[in-house]
Amino acid sequence: MTASPRLASRVKLKDAHLVTRMADIAEGLPDVIKLGRGDPDLDTPAHIVAAGQEALGKGATHYTHPLGIPALRQAIADNIRAHGGADYAPDQIVVTPGGQQAMFVIALGLLNPGDEILVPCPGYNPYHQAAELAEATTVHIRTSMATNFCLTAEMVEAAITPKSKVLVLINPNNPTGTVTPPEEIRRIAEVARKHDLIVISDEIYARLTYGNHQVQPVAALPGMAERTITLSGLSKAYAMTGWRVGYFAGPPDLIPALAEINHAFAISTAAVSQHAALAALTGPQDCVEEMRQTYDARRRQLLAGLDALGIPYAEPQGAFYVYANVASTGIGATAFCERLLREGRVLMYPGGIYGDYTDDFVRMSLTTHRIPEAMARMKTVVDAIRREAA
Ligand code: PLP
């Protein structure tokens, strides 16, 4: 065979192989505590599961409207508005099989080869991959722990060139948990307007914030609805990762073309999942608050454990991750993760997977109740590494 696998060679999955590698190692070990993937251990609330079951019984086994069932798109619009977001009509919303697919649909719809897309770094890695598939150039805007990995308007402006077309905001950020303060979002929006950028605002973790931190929806700001695509989904706030329901919402001049691409990819999102999502958004919301409180309690446990070990971290203000700096172990974050897995049977990922430009950080998910045990195991491994170095 002479043909080369075009897509595989085009997308440079920097460090992404580490996820598979760590999974392979974990597979061969007993009783691994997983602080790896961003997949809640908490179950989808029972009333949402029941709505899915009922929908199946009533024949929700077909394709739906390509943009998503109208009642769900109305519920999404209402939900966005209720949380201070923009005023979207249901036909400005496209339901997708997860927010993940939305990233690729949007990138392929907006970016021409050679266009520049500005992406915070570290930041959720599929944005880089989506940009590469569109043959666009990813411009990494590097944030650092000195500013709690916060993106600023100055950083964005400094990265702009005549080729800049799209700016990605991930708020709260994965992997760092940083919530960009509302006043900074306003300043970044001003830069986007000044330089005529389209903003993809990933607000999938917006319901999961801690302390006084709150997300300012970008599209609700003056002059932003016409240049912002809001991306979100139900995976995180409602513990619905396996149902695969996400969405994007945007201006009327962009949505039809993007909806076309989504239709070409998926035809429509699974009907049963859309009915469950409708129940999630229109039913009681205390389940979201209960889950948020659970993650918050785990976050405190994990931070106390890191404090005791003298391992610094970025303040996690949202999402369900802790981004910790393990440079003091002296072996690099990638080697540290592998050692922790083999010797401590605790799985976490090095920051390189999220485009980190150092090998200093690890991302720890709060998606297990076994945090105290994980921290005890981590202490044993960290102590051993430090003894060796002494
Ligand atoms: N956006 C961010 C920042 C994420 O971390 C994730 C998943 O981890 C997604 C979007 C996609 O989630 P899903 O495809 O489950 O909606």
| Residue 188 CB contacts under 8 Å (≥ 6 apart), including other chains | 151, 152, 153, 156, 167, 169, 180
User: Please, are residues 208 and 235 in contact by the beta-carbon 8 Å criterion?
Assistant: no
pLDDT in tens, the chain (390 residues): 445 555 555 555 556 678 888 999 999 999 999 999 899 999 999 999 999 999 999 999 999 999 999 999 999 999 999 999 999 999 999 999 999 999 999 999 999 999 999 999 999 999 999 999 999 999 999 999 999 999 999 999 999 999 999 999 999 999 999 999 999 999 999 999 999 999 999 999 999 999 999 999 999 999 999 999 999 999 999 999 999 999 999 999 999 999 999 999 999 999 999 999 999 999 999 999 999 999 999 999 999 999 999 999 999 999 999 999 999 999 999 999 999 999 999 999 999 999 898 999 999 999 999 999 999 999 999 999 999 988
Distances (CA, A) of 313 to 33, 69, 321: 20, 42, 11
For ligand 1, whether the C-beta of 124 sits within 6 Å is yes
Residue of 174, 229, 269 with the most ligand 1 atoms within 8 Å of its CB, for mutation: 174
**Residues 258, 260, 263: CA angle, nearest 5 degrees:** 110
Tell me what pLDDT residue 389 has.
87
Locate the ligand 1 atom nearest the alpha carbon of residue 99 and give its number.
16
Tell me what pLDDT residue 1 has.
47
Locate the ligand 1 atom nearest the alpha carbon of residue 170 and give its number.
3
Locate the ligand 1 atom nearest the alpha carbon of residue 241 and give its number.
15
For ligand 1, whether the C-beta of 174 sits within 6 Å is yes
pTM equals 0.96
209-248 pLDDT tens trace: 999 999 999 999 999 999 999 999 999 999 999 999 999 9
From the number of C-beta atoms within 10 Å of its C-beta (0-12, 13-18, 19+), residue 226 rates as middle
User: Please, are residues 117 and 158 in contact by the beta-carbon 8 Å criterion?
Assistant: no
Tell me what pLDDT residue 276 has.
98
3-state secondary structure of 45: coil
